[in-house]
């Protein structure tokens, strides 16, 4: 009974994009910082789960807890906004300037939150910098190098690869944000959001906010990664790929799918879809 139909979901996506675009700068930064730190915490929980169980998929199953907290608390995750605000701009409920402003201030918040958590977590796993042998410290170092140096060594193909992995990642992440609109109950929202996030994390795709934590955390712990390696070979192409995946695959294409369905149903009252909708309406009445 708490299921919400796709057409209504689309309307909520547009409204959410408009609200996000209209937030104050302070709100964007603070909400972005909290979201970045929470997602970073969920990342280290996933790494801990993998280390304890020796099962990679276990980390993917547990990681969505951070995403769920962020969405239910109404915090700002720029990768989710990549699927919403472009729709609001398309529907003329927000301006391009508002969209870019949101992205800038929320990313700044993410960076601050992720760096603070990276510093605190680094002190934790190294016992205040006295022991660098903790397995999770080495995991962060290896992950930071894999997300930067490995792509750099591939050259142009590496740049294309990281961009593609970012597109695939945020297709799923924005779907997770959209799925929260498909239910009016808290449990329904949690279950719906969980599914796409498991898909992205379990396959090792590239998420910009996760990388805002993982890469600098690895650098703090001794990874052989420079600022240029971080931003040129990961952060910038991943942000661009995440935007492309969210705006195109989730925002624009989902919008087109609902417009097409609406035209078919309204243009042909006798179609099976129209009859089904009419029958459902009659039952609910």
Q: Is residue 264 part of a domain?
A: no
So what's the pLDDT on residue 283? 36
Q: Is residue 266 part of a domain?
A: no
Q: Is residue 245 part of a domain?
A: yes
Residue bearing tokens 């498909």: 182
Question: Which CATH number does the domain housing residue 236 bear?
Answer: 1.20.1080.10
- The total number of structural domains that make up the chain: 1
Residue 65 sits at φ, ψ, to 5 deg, of -55, -35
Domain extent, residue 56, equals 6-259
Q: Which of the 8 DSSP states describes residue 252?
A: I
So what's the pLDDT on residue 162? 98
Closest CA to 78 of 213, 174, 11: 174
Q: Is residue 282 part of a domain?
A: no
Distance CA 72, CA 251 (A): 20
Q: Is residue 61 part of a domain?
A: yes
Q: Which two tokens stand for residue 225?
A: 């990664």
So what's the pLDDT on residue 50? 97
The alpha carbon of residue 181 and the mean position of all alpha carbons in its chain are separated, in whole angstroms, by 15
The alpha carbon of residue 276 and the mean position of all alpha carbons in its chain are separated, in whole angstroms, by 34
User: Is residue 50 within 8 Å of residue 126, measured between CB atoms?
Assistant: no
Q: Is residue 92 part of a domain?
A: yes
Residues in a beta bridge with 183: 3
Q: Is residue 125 part of a domain?
A: yes
pTM exceeds 0.85, yes or no? yes
Q: What is the mean pLDDT of each run of 10 residues along the chain (285 residues)?
A: 91 97 98 98 98 96 98 98 97 98 98 98 96 95 98 98 98 97 96 97 97 98 97 98 98 89 45 37 35
């Amino acid at each position: 009974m708490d299921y919400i139909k796709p057409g209504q979901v689309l309307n909520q996506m547009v409204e959410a994009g408009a609200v996000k675009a209209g937030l104050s700068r302070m709100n964007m930064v603070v909400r972005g910082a909290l979201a970045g730190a929470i997602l970073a915490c969920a990342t280290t929980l996933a790494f801990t789960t993998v280390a304890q169980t020796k099962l990679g998929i276990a980390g993917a199953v547990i990681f969505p807890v951070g995403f769920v907290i962020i969405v239910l608390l109404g915090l700002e995750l720029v990768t989710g906004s990549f699927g919403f605000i472009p729709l609001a701009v398309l529907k003329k409920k927000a301006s391009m300037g508002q969209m870019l402003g949101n992205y800038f201030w929320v990313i700044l918040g993410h960076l601050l939150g992720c760096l603070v958590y990276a510093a605190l977590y680094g002190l934790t796993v190294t016992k205040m910098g006295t022991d660098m042998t903790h397995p999770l410290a080495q995991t962060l170092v290896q992950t930071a190098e894999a997300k930067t140096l490995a792509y750099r060594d591939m050259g142009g193909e590496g740049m294309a690869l990281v961009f593609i992995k970012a597109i695939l990642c945020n297709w799923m992440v924005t779907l997770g944000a959209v799925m929260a609109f498909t239910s009016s109950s808290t449990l329904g929202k949690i279950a719906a959001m969980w599914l796409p996030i498991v898909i992205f994390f379990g396959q090792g795709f590239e998420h910009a906010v996760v990388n805002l934590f993982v890469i600098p955390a690895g650098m703090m712990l001794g990874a052989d990664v420079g600022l240029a390696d971080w931003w040129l070979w990961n952060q910038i192409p991943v942000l661009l790929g995440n935007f492309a995946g969210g705006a195109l695959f989730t925002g624009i294409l989902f919008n087109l799918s609902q417009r097409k369905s609406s035209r078919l149903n309204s243009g042909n009252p006798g179609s099976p879809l129209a009859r089904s909708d009419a029958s459902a309406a009659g039952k609910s009445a």
